[in-house]
Amino acid sequence: QVPLSTPLPHHYQQQQEQPASTGNADISSTGPSNATNAMFRVQMWSNNFDSGVHSMNHSSQQIKFENIPSDLGRGSQDGETRNAVPELIHLLSDADEVVVQRAATTIQTIAKIDSEEPLYAEPYLRAVEVITALKDLLRTKSNKPAIIKPTLGALFHISERRDGLESILKINDQTKGSLLIDIIQHIKFTGGSALRYAILTFHTIIAVKSADGHNIEVARANGALQALTQFLDRESNEKLLSVIVECVRLLCDKSQTQRALFLQLNGPSKLLHILRVLRYEGLLWRTTQLLKIFSNADPQAIVKSGGYDVLHKQLEHASQRLIISTLECIRNMSDVPTKDMDVSPLLNKLLQLLGAMDPIVILYCTGILSNLLANNQMNKEFLFSRGAIPTLYRVLISSYSIPASTPNQQQRVEDIQERALATLRHLCVGHTHQVEAQKAVLQQQYAADFLLRKLTEMRPSILKQTLQILNKAALQDANLLLFREIRLRQAADCETNFVERIALILKVACDQLPSTKMVEEVRVADLIQLSLSTLQLLCRDSVLLNQVCL
């Protein structure tokens, strides 16, 4: 019998390999010494570094690790751990794959210890030396999952330290991106938990913004987008999926070619599937951020993929950033005519959100409503039946309470007012309740006072929307009394009315021609035409006619 401490010849290893059932039969039929011998043999093969590689040369493997402590870490083991690193790096190139796997796993453990220490603490691993060895393993052992997993894990933990990431980027640059290419190959072909490390390390590398964008270009050229997109509707780990989504966003950002490829890969439908079935807030937010790119570049594709049906449900979420990101997507899509599509659940939710405290939410909601109402009778009738006119006036009146101390804040308030007025204008025409709407738009409490006030502020875009509303309101005889009687006090001894303000706008606009045709993207001719048309309609009332003639 060959002693257990002596390495077995290779041909003998093959002869001794037998099924587990045979081994159990042998143990039950031998004496005490043989049973003890068999149990020792079982214990000898029990270790934490099962590579799946059959070898009986266990003693020689143990000898190679005799100078490496089993309990790595800081404190009393600090010196031993530090001294063991060079030998571990050397073992990464050992001919025995079991040794390589054990060395790689140990290095992963040390890299994790380093990543958990503050940056000022000196790491055990000298990143440049170990990264080169790990990089070689990615290529030479690509078909050995048990080796690739700790190799990718070690690279990921090294990248978690700033100095480690700098070393990874340096080596990647020196090798013309080959490290990144190797990682992409493992995203394509490596499964299991090793895939997680590959994706996380890939994200860490491409998330670093370089002056020339070289890493992103390398990733694009080597099929990273195709590799990652396949996991969008397969991966069940929501946190890892959020990293995948972010990687796709980085690849598609500012690249028309990548965006077109993502559309070919049915990417938007995969993103909408994530929003439909998953719940992790970070994932949902990143998914809407990615969708925002495509809702801007190709809104029709998102609409066709069922974007409205899915996105409006995200507006129920408690996360403010998710709501805003979702509204940004919907805003981009809302230019696409919905025709006979039923978007009433979305319209209902937008009306509710008009009562939000955040002016950005109100801004997006008013803009979306205005777009969805344009040339859409069904949407107009739905909103009118849900009390949209009084709701919009509450928004307009409360907009004066929104902080407006900076130019940006002032512009935001004006944009809210302009879009809310545009929505009111849409409600005045093009549906079966338009006569009721034309009356309500002036007769609603505080409505006439508000509209007259807007005529005094002389802001071009606001003036145009206000004049368009007044032009429709003037069609109804029931509104003429308000046109006659409503007055606005501008000073202690100075009041103004609708006719006076409209006539003044007409005069100022005429004075602009012919030298000025546009004022802040508003055609001067439009202001003239609207003023004349509205005054003409008002002149059928004798009192208002006299005011015009004064």
- The 10s digit of each residue's pLDDT in 424-448 is 999 999 999 999 999 999 999 999 9
Look at residues 147, 69, 146, 144 and name the one whose alpha carbon lies nearest to residue 113. Answer: 69
- At 47 the pLDDT is 43
φ, ψ (nearest 5 deg) of residue 490: -95, -25
- At 387 the pLDDT is 97
pLDDT (tens digit per residue) in 308-349: 999 999 999 999 999 999 999 999 999 999 888 999 999 999
pLDDT (tens digit per residue) in 371-404: 999 999 999 999 999 999 999 999 999 999 999 9
Alpha helices (runs of H) in 30-176, residue ranges in sequence order: 32-45, 58-64, 78-91, 97-115, 127-140, 145-159, 162-174
Look at residues 241, 138, 212 and name the one whose alpha carbon lies nearest to residue 180. Answer: 138
Query: What is the distance, to the nearest Å, from the Cα of residue 103 to the centroid of all Cα atoms in its chain?
Result: 39
Q: How confident is the model at residue 120 (pLDDT cuts 50, 70, 90)?
A: confident
- At 68 the pLDDT is 76
pLDDT (tens digit per residue) in 155-175: 999 999 999 999 999 999 999
Higher-confidence residue of 109 and 3: namely 109
Q: Residue 475 and residue 512: Cα distance in Å, rounded?
A: 28
Look at residues 195, 193, 189, 184 and name the one whose alpha carbon lies nearest to residue 225. Answer: 184
Q: Does residue 514 have a cis bond before it (omega within 30 degrees)?
A: yes
| Tokens linked to 147 | 């080796």
* Mean predicted lDDT score pLDDT of the chain: 88
- At 22 the pLDDT is 38
Asked if 34 and 69 count as a contact pair (C-beta separation under 8 A), the reply is no
CATH number of the structural domain 64-222: 1.25.10.10
Look at residues 146, 148, 207 and name the one whose alpha carbon lies nearest to residue 183. Answer: 148
Query: What is the distance, to the nearest Å, from the Cα of residue 94 to the centroid of all Cα atoms in its chain?
Result: 44
- At 57 the pLDDT is 59
Residue 32 has pLDDT above 50, yes or no: no
Asked if 57 and 96 count as a contact pair (C-beta separation under 8 A), the reply is yes
Residue 519 has pLDDT above 70, yes or no: yes
Q: Residue 479 and residue 442: Cα distance in Å, rounded?
A: 7
Residue 503 has pLDDT above 60, yes or no: yes
- At 16 the pLDDT is 38
Average pLDDT over residues 133-138: 96
Asked if 210 and 228 count as a contact pair (C-beta separation under 8 A), the reply is no
Q: How confident is the model at residue 295 (pLDDT cuts 50, 70, 90)?
A: very high
Strand-pairing partners, residue 491, are: 494
- At 58 the pLDDT is 62
Furthest C-alpha separation in the chain: 126
Residue 98 has pLDDT above 70, yes or no: yes
Query: What is the distance, to the nearest Å, from the Cα of residue 183 to the centroid of all Cα atoms in its chain?
Result: 24
Strand, helix or coil at 352?
helix
Domain ranges of the chain: 1-46, 64-222, 337-445, 452-550
Q: How confident is the model at residue 48 (pLDDT cuts 50, 70, 90)?
A: very low
Q: Going by C-beta distance under 8 Å and a sequence separation of 6 or more, which residues neighbour residue 463? A: 454, 455, 505, 522, 527
Tokens 């070898």 belong to which residue? Answer: 55
Look at residues 404, 429, 430 and name the one whose alpha carbon lies nearest to residue 417. Answer: 404
Strand 518-519 with 494-497, pairing: unpaired
Query: What is the distance, to the nearest Å, from the Cα of residue 216 to the centroid of all Cα atoms in its chain?
Result: 18
* Coarse DSSP helix, strand, coil percentages of the chain, rounded to the nearest 5 percent: 70, 0, 25
Q: Residue 63 and residue 61: Cα distance in Å, rounded?
A: 5
Asked if 143 and 181 count as a contact pair (C-beta separation under 8 A), the reply is no
Q: Going by C-beta distance under 8 Å and a sequence separation of 6 or more, which residues neighbour residue 330? A: 295, 307, 308, 311, 312, 346, 364, 368
Q: Residue 127 and residue 326: Cα distance in Å, rounded?
A: 42
- At 310 the pLDDT is 96
Strand 487-491 with 494-497, pairing: antiparallel
- At 128 the pLDDT is 86
Q: Going by C-beta distance under 8 Å and a sequence separation of 6 or more, which residues neighbour residue 531? A: 467, 502, 503, 505, 506, 509
pTM over 0.75: yes
- At 163 the pLDDT is 92
Asked if 430 and 377 count as a contact pair (C-beta separation under 8 A), the reply is yes
Asked if 363 and 403 count as a contact pair (C-beta separation under 8 A), the reply is no
Strand-pairing partners, residue 523, are: 518
Residue 30 has pLDDT above 80, yes or no: no
Higher-confidence residue of 23 and 223: namely 223
Residue 20 has pLDDT above 50, yes or no: no
pLDDT (tens digit per residue) in 104-114: 999 999 999 99
Rounded to 10°, the helix 267-277/307-314 angle is 40
Q: Residue 138 and residue 190: Cα distance in Å, rounded?
A: 11
Higher-confidence residue of 545 and 46: namely 545
pLDDT (tens digit per residue) in 195-248: 999 999 999 999 998 767 899 999 999 999 999 999 999 999 999 999 999 999
Angle, vertex CA 489, rays to CA 483 and CA 494, nearest 5: 105
Q: Residue 286 and residue 243: Cα distance in Å, rounded?
A: 9
Residue 57 CB-half CA count within 13 A: 14
